[in-house]
Amino acid sequence: MSSGKSDPEQQNHPEDASVDAGPGALRGQVWLTVQTRQAQRLIRGRNGNADKPAIIGLVGFADRLRVIWQAARNDDPYADWWLVKVHEALERVRDLIKNDQAALDAQLEQLTALEVAVAESMKPYRIALQFANPYAYRGAQLIAEYDRFVRTLLTAHHVGVLTGAAMEGSLNAGARKIRGAFAVPQGYHFLNVDRAALQQGTANASRASQLMGEVPEDVLNRAHQAPLVPRKVRFPEEAAKHIRLKPVDAAPRAGIAVGNDDEVST
């Protein structure tokens, strides 16, 4: 005979729904702050015209990397290869700037009667970053390190450690190296190929080989990869057809508004 009372273990508790749902999506914010115009120009780059070629800045670099990152997720070995190239280019430039910074710091420390504080901006430039892959953030970090190097160069010139010509030479050399690293993704062409297509010798695979060369064997068999790679998940073929890199002379994506609190989303 039933007692009329329900089993406590069979009762539905209102809080169960929220517990089962789990926590919501994580959201965060990343800001890049620079204090020199030289570093700020590397963020935006420059549009090309009849007299001057386009210069790829951080925004254009991140935009092209977005496509490469998606293609690498789709098992495109060329995208994997380009991620290796991007990683190596960023690390090479970072080491050069780090060494130049250390040498300049040592020169300032040799001033026996002066204690020199590196110049700082009274109104730094701050920009919010929303990138789709980690190498774009590494590019932003590279700009931040160059910004510090620029401030040290300007300070060293101000106190007479460097001549104007030496300072300008170092400023231009550092910016040129960063622009060179940011230009690396331009050599990649999205042709919707994967490792299976290369094995089958499809038309797209042949075209990729003509445009970008032969993928190194150690990249093809995944023995050599960039330290940061996406998880391999194929995206729909119909969506892939609409993904393209912009031409080399195309303007960077619009996404930065002039101001002290700008935002980049790519």
pLDDT digit string, tens, across residues 150-209? 999 999 999 999 999 999 999 999 999 999 999 999 999 999 999 999 999 999 999 999
| 92 within some domain | yes
Parent domain of 72: 42-265
197 close to 144: Cβ distance less than 8 angstroms: no
| 133 within some domain | yes
What does the mean pLDDT of the chain come to? 85
What tokens does 54 get?
């386009």
* Total Cβ atoms within 10 A of residue 183: 17
| 139 within some domain | yes
Whole-angstrom CA distances from 7 to 1, 13, 15, 16, 20 are: 14, 12, 18, 17, 21
For residue range 217-242, list pLDDT tens digits in order. Answer: 999 999 999 999 998 765 555 554 55
Q: 3-state DSSP: the chain helix, strand, coil percent, rounded to 5? A: 50, 5, 40
Strand order, beta sheet including 261-265: 30-34, 125-130, 261-265
Domain total for the chain?
Answer: 1
| 37 within some domain | no
| 35 within some domain | no
| 32 within some domain | no
Quote the DSSP letter at residue 218.
Answer: H
| 20 within some domain | no
pLDDT of residue 252: 39
Could you tell me which residue, 3 or 25, shows the higher pLDDT? 25
| 120 within some domain | yes
